[in-house]
Structure 1
């Protein structure tokens, strides 16, 4: 069975860019609901024994398990999203990840422009991700609803931003681009992304 992962910071830690009220609803109600529903769906089955990533990948194979996939994937997606932000985050990365961004996107500024454009332009609910592909190159991908790159072993997610409307509506109403500016300029946790990048490259070596 699965527990609600705690936020990696206080609910007030991301203010004024994301309010404590938003985090309280988003984590305490939305995220918790996915945990509760996942546990309900796997109760008394062999799936109880699987860790979360194994559960997501198993559910992804079976269309009849779509509800389970949606809820389990949303547990993982949300936990990864919380870790993709940090108080006093934002700006540009440094080190190996910064060099790879320069190689694959031309510059950090071009990466930022592309990430914001893809996240802002994504229709409906979902996520925008920076991933490392099997070819060793970085890419920006969007996923709809609960879809997640962790279900695809060819992709390693490095960071994400959530573009479901409940993520930003209390603070930004329908101004998704303004929320994305706040995420990129003040919140994105490049240390988390760099650690994921280093771990993925070490595993591939």
Structure 2
């Protein structure tokens, strides 16, 4: 849905070719969520089907100019004012991984958390360096400001994830302290008398079968 409305927002500024929309989208977001040209044209096809954009002018080779319709502007305005739904959170691979790893045999959950924290902090440092570089050159236009907003969201998201990982590690350590793993006992061997009985029963059944 974000690609759909992102393209509508760009088209509100003026008619564009698909390649222009791709370039503008990546400029605004700093290529954080790169688009391939196939995604752009697939989305434009759906927007045209829904009456939100229309082809404009003659096609130039493989290039077609698209413009937003009045219905497209109305739907875009509604999107701007509608809160993003957080009641149905997207699946998060890290949360699923940790949930599945709890109690899994042979899995060092604390090591997983520590490794992920190192990766998250490195990513946060990279985003922070990019932000410092962007501020040093000065946000001169709305594309620069848009990129800063995306960068800051990534920084805050990384900070929140690092804090959550700290919390997960603390919870696991506390749980392990109050619920120690039972010591592994010696292997349970079969009773020799039972083994003999089974062998005799099998032999008797075999003799009975031959006698029939």
Same fold (TM over 0.5): no
- Larger RCO (CA under 8 A, 6+ residues apart): 1
Which is higher, the Rg of structure 1 or of structure 2? Answer: 2
Q: TM-score, normalised by structure 2?
A: 0.23
The structure richer in strand per residue is 1
Which of the two has greater helix per residue?
A: 2
Instruction: Give the alignment's TM-score, normalised by structure 1.
Output: 0.24
